[in-house]
Amino acid sequence: MDSSNRESRRRAVHLLWTGGWDSTFRLLQLLLEHRVPVVPYYLEDPTRPSTAIELQTMARIGNHLRAAYPHVRELLHPIRVASVRDVMVDEEIAAALREIRQRVFIGSQYAWLPSFCKHNAIDQIELGVHVDDKVQALVRPYALEFDHPDGYRSVRVDPRHADTPEFRLFRYFGFPLFHIDKVGIDRRAGADGWSAVMDMTWFCHTPLRGRPCGICAPCIYTIEEGLARRVPMSRRVVSYFYRRFALPLKSPLRRLRGALRESRAGRPRAPGVGRP
């Protein structure tokens, strides 16, 4: 059996891929460094203005990799796209997210993403959680490093913490980028000759005329985590004033809206959780 056939018979790694910086870097590691089959998943949110751009970005990157690295044709499976609207949020997962949100706010994707995994019997999907990510800080006290069967090290939530909301929420995920930040990814990608592919990635949720807006959460993270060059200068200026004057007001307003909703409903519920 030749090497390409051996590679294609290895167990595929499930990867949440958005066409963004972190998940694309992980895709490159799996395909070009570890040479393992990859099944990419994309959960489509039809309410997000960037959805079409993200799908186009992934198609463009996939086509480029298949042309530049012929072995990728055997390893990169078609993207499995599912709609967020079709995901029924599991109540145990929703309750875990509500409990965590009493301490720190994380997005509602952490209700439907683990619910999707649970309902589809996906027991390990890789996420691009990295240093400076809120989820990295949440998981860190419960993290367990392990050797993946395909020959690399990764991180997951230790089953010894099964009684915690962190385990109930993040038990379905592997975190292979747990010990690296965005700038470190930039350096590693440059050293491996992947910079051109990384420059093809997309991150903004609310693009303006096809360019990053500078004020959505991914744009802010991109700027604050050392990759401001990826946001146009004019939008960086807007972002500066937004982060300095408008953003500090958002958390108090979010807490106030949550309290009002809870008082009307008569019971606590995190925004966006418990609904498909």
Residue 242 in tokens: 């937004």
Query: Can you give the pTM of this predicted structure?
Result: 0.85
Residue 224 lies in a domain: no
Q: Which residues contact residue 176 at a Cβ distance below 8 angstroms, ignoring those fewer than 6 apart? A: 26, 29, 126, 148, 152, 153, 154, 155
Q: Which residues of 1-16 are buried (b: 16+ CB within 10 A; e: fewer)?
A: eeeeeeeeeeebbbbb
pLDDT tens digits, residue range 240-270? Answer: 999 988 888 776 545 545 555 555 544 443 3
C-alpha 23/C-alpha 18 separation (Å) is 7
Residue 147 lies in a domain: yes
Residue type, 268: P
CATH number, position 103: 3.40.50
Q: How many domains does the chain have?
A: 1
Q: What is the pLDDT of residue 151?
A: 87
C-alpha 116/C-alpha 111 separation (Å) is 9
Beta bridge partners of 147: 153
C-alpha 83/C-alpha 90 separation (Å) is 16
Q: Which structural domain range is residue 15 located in?
A: 3-202
pLDDT tens digits, residue range 54-86? Answer: 999 999 999 999 999 999 999 999 999 999 999
Residue 42 lies in a domain: yes
Residue 80 lies in a domain: yes
